[in-house]
Structures are given as structure tokens and as C-alpha cells.
Structure 1
Amino acid sequence: MYKLTGGALDKIMNGIDIEKPVLQILGYKKLPSNTNKPPTDRYRLLISDGQRMNSFTMLATQLNHLITDNTLSEYAVCEISKYALSSVNNGGKEKRVMLVLGIELIAPGEEVKCKIGNPTNVEAKPEPGNSNQPHSSTAAHQNGAAKQEKKVSNYNSSSDIATTPIAALSPYQNRWVIKARVTHKPPIRTWSNSRGEGKLFSIDLIDDSGEIRCTAFRDMCDKFYDMIEVGNVYYFSRCMLKAANKQFNNLKNDFEMTMTNDTEIIPCHDNNDDIPGMQFDFVPISRVEQKEKNDIIDVMGVVTTFSDVQHLQQRSTGRDLTKRDVNIVDDSGVTVCVTLWGKQAEDFDGSNNPILAIKQARVSEFNGGKSLTIFNTSVVTKDPDLPEAHKLRGWYAAGGHAETPKSLSRQGGGGDFNAPLHTFQEVSDARLGDKLNAADPYTVVATINLIRVENSVYKACPVDGCKKKLIDQSTGVFRCEKCNKDFPNFSYRLIASMNIADATGSRWITAFNDDAEKILGMSAQELGELKENDNDAYMQKFGEASFKRFTFSMRAKSEVFQDEMRVKHNCVSVAPLNYKTHLTYLIDKVSKLAHIEKVDSN
């Protein structure tokens, strides 16, 4: 017969900490959701200690799988490794509720087969004046009250502040304090619509029971934004709790918090090792292919390649956007493109193959492939101190870097840096660009032989997005045929026709403004002014670019010119050569040609 911890429920419901009680599951009930959005199921348990049974017991949502996979079946005997007490309004009276945060199965229900003992219903007897105080078994302190009962103050043994676990928060009671670590704080956002304008910011909070989002609007932004720092622990109280809007909130919590004029946030300077950092639920990159468009997932991978920053304009609003594409791979042998936006794109440095841990990436689809997009609630952590990251680094160093992964992403949009690396001889052999009206992407490592100086700098239309070459009317006025307007001013732009070569051949290619600026090391405006004021220095700039080596992302496309078919090679992007990555590629290629299974690049 299995031995239960007799009398445990009476003690627990009266605030006495019982370490790892052994209890029996007599049943459960699925509760209705309080939100109209896709709900997270919540389960109410009927438990027994052999003497008493209690139905005011909730299972933390992160343990729901124990219900769905039938682990916590009727008559199952379990050890409660962690729990917390909260209170709810039950018919006008405060009722204590036990929240199960950790549970271990001792014996399945089909093995036990019967109810142990003859338990009667428990009626908790909260101490006067403490019915609203939450409790937990995770950190107890002495109260000094009669009977020397151990009052449980969650997560905080060195402070008089009693706290409630995030998982125990309920809209039916508002006298709570949570102690949580801030894991994410994006910049303040503004809005303007027919109803007015304002600003907001949101933070993600975590304790060892779960996560929750907290949002501040208008004046609360000014009051709290600067004082809150990511990674620090705070006490939060007097926030409004409401159903989470799952359209904008992907955390695993049915509720979210909103700061009010009464909200209090107090820094916690105690030892906070018991408050976890950011939690990830990593999905192998190989499984991204099975995900639906707009699914939100956590992934981790080693950066293999990354594009330059690209500037584009949103069609619907005309707003200027900044993006960067990053390729990551993991030990599932699959690579995927991740798109960074805004400041994250501008600040990103992918040199030396860092590991990226990404929380809440959105799955995108393009040209039949899958990619990932970072948005405002996503968190990107470089080289995290996680066991999974150390394991991935070991795999990559031991030979993963030399493997040829399967790519889930397809070329398109702002760049084709995912295109295969070829020599010019391989481009010819593969007949890239031979098909009319179809562009073939490829990447080549090549050296600049010559840049044509004539017509490289031109006077362009000053209208954003036009870029058309202006007609100089020799009257101080310039005409744009595309816009059908005359302008007294212009902007300089670059178009560089150049010959580049590798060991197998050469090609004439065309690089446009942004890439030409990178090659020449000056902006189009600076070069245009240099041409007007110092032609010798202008010519010297083009000479200095010769014999420089770059990685070129190219598109080869057939076109008809003067009744003759020819292949035109346009530069999509250009980047300095990453010698470490290129050396790894060459060693792998030589190994295959020489039928060597493995060459140690170290």
C-alpha cells in the first residue's frame, strides 16, 4: 500500500510549510477560460492526503501535459515538489487555493486502482488578518506567531514582503505582490489615430512559476521606463490584471498586467538566484519547415552568413525601413534565414560565427520556403550562457562547420546572400542566367581588376524613390522625365561598371549606389563633390579600389540587346571577405576532391 502524508492538507491550507508531501489524485476538472482569445487550459484538481481531500487545488499551466498525456489519472499517487498558496473570492469569502508548481509521479492510477484511506473534505482555517497573504513552499521565514507556524513568503526569505507566484495571479483578487525578473524591455512606441495619440512600452516578467507581460501607457511610460532595467528583479504591485490579448501577446499566460496610477515598482537587492533568467522552448531548425505561417517559436543557431544592412521603403506607408538577413544553422543539419529589423539590424555583428538564441521569432513564407522574422516583442541573445548553446558550439567546432546544410529559405527580396558559392568557371558550367526572364543567384569571391570611371557618378532626381538620371538643361535647372518635373537641385548617385576576377575567370558586373559606395569607400555625394573640385583625387579613389577582394552576391540574367542574347551579371550585395568562413569552405571542398573524410582546420 502507498503511504500518503497524512494531515498534510490541513497544515498546508493553514500556512504551515510541508516539504514534498505525498498526495493522491482523485480527479480533475477543466475550467472555462476568462478570455475570448485562444485559451490556455487550466485544471482544478481533487487531491487527498488519506485523511482529508481538497478541491481548491490548481495545476500550474506549464504542467498541463500531465493531464493531457494521462499521467495524473484518477488514483495516481504523486509527490508535490513545489507549491504555492494564493486566495480567491469564493461567495464573498476569501478562500485559500493551493497552486501545484512541481509534481512527481510515484505510482500511476491504473496501478493503485483505488482511493487510499477515507478522506473527508478539508476546510482551511486561515489565520486572522492573513487571509489575503499569499504563501509558497519555496522560501519560508519564521513569523513568531502562536504555535510557531512557518509562514511562507514566496521567493523571499530575507524580506518582509510576501509575494505571489505569477502563475497564481487571478483577476478575482488584487491584493498581491509579485517578485519577478525583467527579461525584455523594447523601446517606447508611439501611436496616433482618430481617437488621439499616445505612447506605451511593455516588459516581460518571469519567476520560477511562469511569465507575464506588463504594459505602461502615457504618463506611466515617463514614470517607470528609465528605472526598469533588463535582468534586474523588482517587486510589482497594484497593477491591473486582465485577459491577455493573444494577437499581440505570445507569452504562456491567460492574463497580462497594466500599470496604473497606483502601481508600485520596487527594486529587489536581495540574493535573487532563485529567480530564473529568460526561459526558452527551443525548436530544432529542421522543424521550422512544418510550422505554419505566423507561428511564434524559439530557435537557436550558429551564424554562418549575414548580409549588409539594407534600406527599403514600406509600400503601404512610405516609411523607411532597415533590415538585415542572417543565416543560422543548428545540429539538425538545417539552415534558415532570420530577418532583423531597425536598430537590431544596424547594430548586429555576425563575425566569428556567434550563437543566437531567439525568443519569439515569427515564421514567414516566401517562394515556397520558410524563414524567420524578428518583431518588436522578439528577444535576440548573442552567445548565451546556456547548456544548449555550449552543446551547439561543440558540434559546430567538431565538424558541423564543414557540413553542407539543407536550407529552408528561398532567395528574394533584398538579397541573395543564401545563394551557393561558385567560381566563375562553375557559373559557366552550370549555364547560370541562360534562361530568358529568369534570374539565377550565385555568390562569388573575387578581386576587382578595374572600375570604369566614366559615367560612374551621375546627377539623380532628388525625389525619394525616383533615382532617375536628370537632364541638365544648362540653365541651372534639371529635368526628370520620370517625374515630369524640373528641379533646381539634384542628388549624386553611383553606378559602377567593373571587371572582377577569380582564379577561373572574370566577368563585367554592375554595382549600384549602396554597394558601389562600400567598394569605393566614399558616399556618392562625397565623390560627386570631389569630381567637381579635385578631379585627380577623384580618379585616385577609383584606382585605390583595384585589387581589393570582396564576396559578391550576384544575379545572372539573360536579356536581348540589339537583337543579341547576352547574360548580364548584376551585384545584389557586396561584403568584405570573411577569411575564416571562406577557409573552412575551401578545406571542405579540397577534402571532398581528395576523398579525405575530415581535415582539421585548426
Structure 2
Amino acid sequence: HSTGRALVTHAGPPPHIGPSLVRLPKTMAEFDLEVGAAMRLYHGDDGLMPTLQIADLRALQSKDGNSDDPKNKRYRVMLSDGQHYVTAMLSSQLNPLVLDGKLEKFTVVKLTEYLCQTINNRKIIIALQLDVGGKPSDIIGQPIACEQAAASGEAPPPPMGGNQPSAPRTLGAGGNYGQPQNTHGAGGNYGQPQQTFGNYGNYGGGVPGGNYGAPPGGGQPPAGQPAPSYGGYGNNPNQQNIPPQYSNRGAVARNEAPHRITPISSLNPYMNRWTIRVRVTNQPAIRTWHNARGDGKVLNVDLLDSEGGEIKAVCFNDTAEKFSQVFQGGRVYDISKGHVSQVKNKKYNASDFEIRLDNTSLVDEVTDPQAVASIKKIHYNFQKIASIEDAMVGGMVDVIGVVHTVGDLATIMKRDGGETSKRSVHIRDDSGASVELTMWAPHAVDIGGKLEAMVNGGEHPVLAVKNGRVGEFQGKNIGTVGSTNIDVNPDLTEAAKLRHWYDAEGGATATVTTFGGGGGGGGKGDRYVSIAQLKDEIAQIGANPPFWVQCRCHITYIKAPQDSGPYYPACPLQNGDRMCQKKLRFDEAQGSWNCERHSGEHVPHCEWRYILNMTVSDHTGQHWVSAFGDQGDAIMGMKASELHRLYNDNHAAYEQALQNANFTSHMMKLKVKEDSYNGETRPKTELSRIEAIDYVAESKRMLDKIAKLHAGQSIDEPRPPARGSMGMGGAYGANAGMNGGAPPPAYGAAGGFGGQGFNNDGGWNQGGGGAGGTYNNYGGDAGGGWAGGGGGGG
């Protein structure tokens, strides 16, 4: 050849070509598919950026009816390297490429970001980001499934990018394209770690420093010919030959250091390598526990990153002792080599995941001022107090409001015989609602004491509460836990608005709604349902989030305790904006009533208050309902104090009063919610409002239903979707891409891709007690990402 280059053609790849660099002929030359990449993906290699062809692309069918929306579709692809293909799922953030026609069958793509997972012994690739290339007219090669190749005993290919074990060679020293390192000579191989000395990457072999295109037998050009001007890669003719650094040393381990800081919003249990840069937002302290299985220690650390993502890190026993000396509130750390797992109990965690640290985890403090300043000291996700009525009991919320009243510090006896302190604080905001904040020690003592002094001095501060736990006793309330953060008069825009509302717009004297047992929620548009429909909905859909319905029914039975009536002695003292209503206990020795909330205060008398458990019926069935307070007055036709007097003075009249309440018809508004008792969660139905039947309006409603029946329409009103509700785990990454640039990956949380089993149609099926479904069973997908379907589908 006139240029000195050797032009060699092969019917197939030459025997010395490594599998990671095989190039197929014809169309492969144009699209440059990387043979061997599919098998590497199948065997879990997560350090590639391979060029592959989409051998097949199809939308998965959903059983939940959401697949009609193109944005909600899920797509399965088969990625081929010309010899093998591997099955993958496209993340929803790639859906626009499919919808715009840029991503089709036979399209060649470069996979730039992905996850390799093993779910129930099935290899799964999740494509997060890819670059679209050209599109051949047909499939390249005749690829077979990686599963088939693995089952036939085909060995997994060696990892890309690292050195392979060396073998003695008799060839020249320059190192062939794709060859193992020679036992002598200086030239580095293609793909070998770059050296700072010697001659690197010689094509064609030869003596040390062989040039690109040099004759195979040696590195010097033929006599009489000058050395080619294009020379060697890094070749310096005056440089002293130095033995290769990497020869005869076998495989070099992959560098496990993550390439970049990972946002908390991108963490999920299936990521192996990550590093997060976070600020500690609480004051970590070791807590101890004692139970039947023994004693232990735990350390909880609340973490916040620069994007506002939050997660909790936990460690136990010796690891807790170790990291308690490392973590300090307010400081910034890089954390890696922790295990991300699903939160088992949402009552103790506002996130879907948590990080488990062990003795191999790495925690390094960040001191760079710019990096430290990029993360806020605390991040709030405030919601209006009025919305607390619909919040899940046990859930965590952030609220901000003006302190209206502060109760006295009370000492409470704990079940283990110890004592603790509590204090009730009522806060209100411009949503027209007030809520009781129960502060437990230490918040009740230090911050509570400060608030008491400020209110007694005529000042009503603004209070920001981070991670308050929603409770329910005679209405919704908020309580502090170990991770709760309380800020008095914070420097926030929301605080300034509330300050103006309370001082200048009449917030101090405004009539606000205080959450109480019964009332609240729903509205005039509440559905009318039959008892049978209500029971079916509870059984099939559950009661989370709570919902309200109206039902025309009659009372069939009121359950009354044998040793007392259907009422209890309630505390009549004021607790902020409402009556306390806590159950009183009578002290026989002192002859007085005692209230747990108003410990040490004189309670002059008790206020008898109804607590009814009853069955209600209509023409379709029967259902248990609870009623309290004023609703009981309406049902019984008398105050609870009057019924109590009959119980003591005229038991026959008492029995007759209970009988008279039976078989009376009412229009009832019912609230259905989940209730936890002794660690068991079950649906509970409460009477929210009771009214006399408006027979004119009821007759019109029945005529409308009759007309629907004549027209062949259903008369059952289905439950509307909850506003903003998501499946368990939510739309992980709902805000992905909001700040511009490439959106981070987003994943669903619950159930680990749905649970049990992988079907042949490419969808993950929910198994073991849940309704089967494809991977599309998700709840909420705001910014691109898979959202866990809350126990039903993944």
C-alpha cells in the first residue's frame, strides 16, 4: 500500500480481536454496535455506555385503565448488540421520544444511563437516559436472547475498560488492537489504563513504540522510507523505553468511586453505588430500647440535600456509637456505601426510603464553603392547617401558624412507670382553622416554656413546625416526636404573611374551625350511596385517604356496656379554643375528678358525653357506625347527662330510651377512615352529621335514579380520585427536571417493582394478596418516573 498502511479484510472478526471490540460487517460499520454489551448488561455490568439497536418496542397493557393516556404508557424494549438481546424498560421520562416518533423499532441508540436489577431471579434493565442515532431498515444480525445464551452455558464476557489477564506472547512488543498485554515491550493496549510513560496504544504490534500502521513484525518502517508523519499514539522517538506498568498483573478492579453527587430524590433500593451530599438537620442522639429480644441502641439522622430532598439515616448498636461521634447538627457530609431500603413504618418517617448505615459506610465532612452554603439549614413543605383534617393519622406534616394559646406544663405517667412532660399549644393560620400542637419533652419544657412566657407577655409568635406527627383524639391534632423541629418567629415569607394576618387583618379575633370529633370534611356534593356499595368500596379500595358519603338509613341496634351507659365522663375545662373532652377518672380517696391533660387543676364536675356504637341499615345491608357528642344527642333525643340520670334512677326508663332510638330513619353523613388500635389498622366509619330526611328532595333524587335505570345507566356513584393522591412511595421524582437540564431518574417506592413474579408479556405482576397488574399500576407520575402503587401494583 502506498501509504504503508496494511489493509486487511476479514469474513469475520480476526481471532485476536477481543469480544468488547468486535464490529460486525456491513451495517455494523455504519452503526457501530458493540457486540458483547448485551451480555454484559445481562450480567449486571453498570459501567457501560453501549451502542445498541432496539430490536423490538411495544407498549405494555395496563389493567387499571390508565394506558389510554400516552403519557402514562410504559414501554418494553429489546436491546440488541447484533449477537444477543436483553429486555429493558424505558423510564417514563423517555416516553416523549416514543410519542414523537424518534424512538422506534430498529433505531440505534447509545445507552448513557441505566440500572441493572435482578427481580425474582429475572434480569431487568431500566433505561434512564439514551441518545438516539440512526435507523437501519431491518434488524442487524440474528441476535438471540441473553437468557437463552446463559442457559446454554455461554460464559459471561469480561468487564469492559479494565485489563484482562495476560498471556505470554511471541509477537512484537507494540501491543495489538484489543490484544492481551505482551510479556515484553512497552506499548499499551487499546482500552488499557493510560500510562504516563512509554508508547501507548500502538496499532499493528512491533517493537516498543510501534506506530499506527507499522508492519506486524516490527515497529520500524522499511528501509528507505521515512517514518509516517502520523506516528504513534504518544510515541516519542527520543523517549527512553520503560517497561509497561501494567504487564503481567492480571485484572484490575473497577474503580468503585461514584462519578458524581447523587440527589436524594434519585435514591432507591436498587442503586448500588451513590454518594449524597447532605446537611444534618436534627441533633442526632442515641436512643436505647428494651424488649423481649434484648437491648439495643439506635441513631436517627435527618438529612437534607441542595435540591430539597430529605431522607433519614439510621444505624444500630456499635455503628450508632461510631457515627454518634461523627454527625453533628447543621454540618454537611458526603455519605456513601449505605443501604437504601423501603420505610417499613410511615408513621416514623416522612420519606419512602431510608438509609441504613453500617461499619463499611463512609461519612466525610464537607468543609468547602461554597458546597456548605448550597444546602439550606432546613427545608419546609408547609400545608395549611385546614388540610390537616384530611391528613393520614400517623403521617408527618410541616405547618406554620400563629400561637394563640399555650397550656400549662403537665407531668404524665408513662406505661413503663417513668414520667414525661407535655404541653398543649393552639396555633391558627389564615385558612380559617386552628389545631392543637401537643409538645412532649423536651420541646414541652424548653420551647414550650418560652412560648408560655411570650403569650403571657402579650406576644403571639409565629411557629414553624417541621415533622409534626398527625394524631386523632376527638379530632385531628399534631404532636412532636424525636425528629420534630420547631422554630419560633422564623425568618420566612410565610411567617411575615401570617404576622400581618394576625395583627392587621383580624386573625387574632377571627372565628376559626377547631378540629373536633365528627364534623369537618366533605361538602354538599357528597355522594349518596347504599350500605352495600359502601361496604364494597371499603373492602375493595380501603379507607385511605378518608372519604365522606351520605346515606339514608335507620338505626337498628345501639350497643351499650353492661356496667354503664353509652357515654363517658368528659373534662369540661377549656383546652385552647374548645372544651377538653378528655376522659376523667374519679379519685375515690379525694372525692374529685382528675384529668390527664389538666393534671393538678381542680375539675369541679364532669360533662357526660355520648360515645355510641350502633348498626345502621337500609334495603341493601347493615353497617357499624360510631357517633359522638352532639350527634348522640340527636339520636337519643336527650343529653347524655339525662340518660345517665335514668341509668341510675330509673333503669326501665333507660332501657326504653335505648329502644326508642332504634328504627328511626335519618339522613346520615358518614366519614370513613383508617383507624389504628393495638398496632392493627382497620377501616372505621363515624357519623359526621345527622339530619331529618327531606322527603321532597329525597323523592326527587329517587326519581332521577329511576330515570337512569330506565335508560340503562348505573345508579351507583363511584368514589372520585383523591386530590393529589399517590400510590405508596408516591411519584418518586415528581419534581424531576423542574430546575432545567436533564431530569434525574425517578422511581416508584412500594413493593419493589410490584412484588411477586415477572410475566412473559413484559410486565411485573403484583403477587401475594394484591390484584395482579402490569408495571403500569402506579399512582401519580408528575415529573416522570415510576410511582409505586401502594400495595396493589408496583
TM-score range, shorter chain: 0.3 to 0.5
Q: Which has the larger radius of gyration?
A: 2
